[in-house]
Amino acid sequence: MKRIGIMTTGGDCSGLNTVIQRITRGATLRKWIVYGILDGTDGLCVTPPAVVKLNDLMLPIENARLAGSFLHNGHANALNFETAIERGKTAAFNKQLYKSLSELKLDALILVGGNGSISLAWANREIYRDLQLICIPKTIDMDIPLTDKTIGFDTAVQQLTSYCDQLMLTARSHHRWFVVQSMGRDCGNLALNAGVAVGASAILIPEIKFDVNALVEHIKNQPTDYGIIIVSEGISLRGHSGKPADMISRKLTAAGIMNRTAFPEHTQRAGDTTATDRILATRFADCALGAIENGETNVMTVLSDGDVHTVSLTEFVNAGEIVHDPKIPDLMTSNAYVSPDNPLLDVAYDMGIYIGEQK
């Protein structure tokens, strides 16, 4: 009888509870024992390790659609890979993780995380050397290479689109523009997809250079005196500081364009999980359980051209753009960004949306 563990790490998103429930269900049908590790790596830094034994009644199917993580994603000030470096306790932290995993006597660990968490898992794979490590990608940023979708992205797009839909109504009533700042870090996928969905008049993303004066003229020449301008949190404006939405808003105000800023913030990580994300979570869970049966380790589940399968973590690292993690100086993360040939860029341009100076 196999003993497997599952933990969620990094930022939360919708779909985490779905994948936890599906992993538990699939493992139970295989007569495996499933342990949920609480608070990510935090749960492995206490003695005994903070775990719960999962079963079909622990997380009912009707609650699997809810946002957040039933297992939690960690405390802000707890010891983790980031704080361990800050406090000079990296060696002790790594030793504790290995010790806790050994005490749990796991045959496999399913780690549900973003590109930072998965990059950390690969960089510190010695910690997991005595068990099978299977990673499942989740993030609202959609910045993980090799997979066409990540758990949580579709729901985040829906959340941001719905938020903008409501703003559009008050924008029309008061003849004003709303500059909406999306999440996404240095990747513009969330802003681009929601912007096309809502019919934004402009979408500014980190991957494409833009001219703020051209943006102003574009807004002045719109057929309406109201609408949505979506800016990704990762954009910058030379000579200006502050939140991206505020920077753009000041430029519009200086040009005599009535506007307000709006920050949906963590509502983008919330919301009932969409059907698309639930299906993806189920497919990833099934793939991860199959990988355990097949004896695989150090792999990640991916969706590619409609097919779900695993790739090695080495492939994951080599396929992305390698950059320094801003919070962990010694860590290189593998990142994916909006590609110049992303078809949505052409769609946005053809629909008269200002997307920068790529054309």
Residue 331 · residue 123 · CB < 8 Å:
yes
Question: Residue 91: CB partners within 8 Å, gap ≥ 6?
Answer: none
pLDDT at 330 over 80: no
Which band of pLDDT confidence, cut at 50, 70 and 90, is reported for residue 108? very high
Span 1-28, average pLDDT: 97
* Lowest mean pLDDT segment, chosen from 101-105, 117-121, 281-285, 329-333: 329-333
Please report, rounded to a whole number, the percentage of residues in the chain having pLDDT higher than 90.
Answer: 89
Q: Is 107 exposed, middle or buried (0-12, 13-18, 19+ CB in 10 A)?
A: middle
| CATH architecture entry for 3-152+273-319 | 3-Layer(aba) Sandwich (3.40)
Instruction: Transcribe 256-281 into DSSP letters.
Output: T--EEEE--GGGGG-SPPPHHHHHHH
Q: Is the link from the previous residue into 49 a cis peptide, with omega within 30 of 0?
A: no
Q: Average pLDDT, whole number, for the chain?
A: 95
Instruction: Take residue 8 and report the two structure tokens written for it.
Output: 């969620």
Torsion 310-274-139-198 (CA) sign: positive
pLDDT at 286 over 90: yes
pLDDT at 327 over 80: no
Q: What is the end-to-end Cα distance of the chain in Å, rounded?
A: 59
pLDDT at 279 over 70: yes
Residue 191 · residue 184 · CB < 8 Å:
yes
Rounded distance between C-alpha atoms, residue 97 and residue 107, angstroms: 15
* Lowest mean pLDDT segment, chosen from 86-90, 254-258, 353-357: 86-90
pLDDT for the residue numbered 48: 95
Catalytic option among 39, 42, 141, 154? 141
Which band of pLDDT confidence, cut at 50, 70 and 90, is reported for residue 329? confident
pLDDT in tens, 175-190: 999 999 999 999 999 9
Domain ranges in the chain with CATH number 3.40.50.450: 3-152+273-319
Residue 141 known to be catalytic:
yes
pLDDT for the residue numbered 359: 52
pLDDT at 32 over 80: yes
Question: What backbone phi and psi angles, to 5 degrees, belong to 121?
Answer: -60, -40
pLDDT for the residue numbered 347: 97
Rounded distance between C-alpha atoms, residue 158 and residue 49, angstroms: 37
Instruction: Take residue 110 and report the two structure tokens written for it.
Output: 């399913």
pLDDT for the residue numbered 83: 83
Residue 108 · residue 271 · CB < 8 Å:
no
221 three-class SS: coil
Instruction: Take residue 104 and report the two structure tokens written for it.
Output: 């749990």
Give Cα separations from 248 to 6, 11, 78, 169, 195 (angstroms): 42, 27, 36, 21, 16
Rounded distance between C-alpha atoms, residue 254 and residue 265, angstroms: 26
pLDDT in tens, 114-172: 999 999 999 999 999 999 999 999 999 999 999 999 999 999 999 999 999 999 999 99
pLDDT for the residue numbered 77: 77
246 three-class SS: helix
Span 203-221, average pLDDT: 97
Instruction: Take residue 351 and report the two structure tokens written for it.
Output: 């629909």
pLDDT for the residue numbered 357: 86
Please report, rounded to a whole number, the percentage of residues in the chain having pLDDT higher than 70.
Answer: 99
CATH 3.40.50.720 fits 155-269+340-350, yes or no: no
Which band of pLDDT confidence, cut at 50, 70 and 90, is reported for residue 280? very high
pLDDT for the residue numbered 15: 98
Torsion 193-199-205-208 (CA) sign: positive
Question: Residue 206: CB partners within 8 Å, gap ≥ 6?
Answer: 186, 187, 188, 232, 234, 235, 236, 337
pLDDT at 239 over 90: no
Give Cα separations from 347 to 183, 208, 214, 215, 341 (angstroms): 22, 15, 19, 18, 11
pTM above 0.75, yes or no: yes
Domain ranges in the chain with CATH number 3.40.50.460: 155-269+340-350
Which band of pLDDT confidence, cut at 50, 70 and 90, is reported for residue 358? low
DSSP-H helix ranges across the chain: 16-29, 81-86, 90-104, 115-123, 153-174, 189-198, 212-220, 244-254, 275-293, 313-319, 343-350
Rounded distance between C-alpha atoms, residue 58 and residue 37, angstroms: 14
